[in-house]
Amino acid sequence: MVHWLFAAGILLVGLCLACEAIVGSEVWGMRRWRAYLWPGLAFALGVALWPVMALFTNSAIHMYAHGSWAEVLMLAGAAELGLVHGRLHSPLWRLTWPLAFAVTGAAFIIHEQNPWFFARSAFLHHLLGWTFLVSALVPLALVWRPRSLALRSGFAAVMVVVSVMLFADRDVAPVFGHLSPQAGVQHR
């Protein structure tokens, strides 16, 4: 449920980024509130991750993973809001996005100790982790080429792909027909 709620939020961020990439920042920013939309949503998602961190204490490592995502998402959203509002000026603040991607990817890979094909959840955790780690290069390149249509579209696409993976994430569902006998009764 929680994964799906955050998938919905990340999907909205991705769609906003896609719209901005398609129409261009000038058109997107003609209504002032639109410029704040996805940075504000990212910041709000970061704040909303704190309850997940504090209330899901059934294992320490999940608590730390959710805490690290809350922090980096708040940081990246806050930096983007600062740039949009004119409180921050250096484009280097956008380095918070590759940082957020790298931390998020590492946290996904570290907190999943099963191999790739153990179950769908394990597969998607590995896939999410490596997707974030590899695609950290996209926001990193955007710091120096902020107007590149390809990079901006890539940034949006990463968000949409990540949200789809989160929607598909289920603990004991089979992956490619394979499921460990330890995974128990299937949920559907």
Using CB under 8 A, list all residues that contact another protein.
Answer: 1, 3-5, 7-8, 11-12, 43, 47, 50-51, 53-55, 57-64, 67, 70, 74, 78, 81-82, 85, 87, 113-114, 118-119, 121-122, 167, 169-173, 180, 182-185, 187
Judged by beta carbon, residue 147 or residue 181, the one nearer another protein is 181
Quick one: 88 or 141, whose CB is closer to another protein? Answer: 88
d(CA 29, CA 102): 29
Give the phi and the psi of residue 178 in degrees, each rounded to 5: -105, 135
Its sign, for the CA torsion 108, 143, 73, 156, is negative
Q: Which of 170, 165, 168, 167 is nearest to 119 (CA)?
A: 170
- Between 11 and 102, name the residue whose CB sits nearer to another protein: 11
Nearer to another protein, 129 or 138 (CB): 129
| Beta bridge pairs of residue 178 | 175
Task: Report, in Å, the least distance between residue 69 CB and another protein.
Answer: 13
The Cα 62–Cα 60 span in angstroms is 6
State the minimum distance, in angstroms, from the CB of residue 182 to another protein: 6
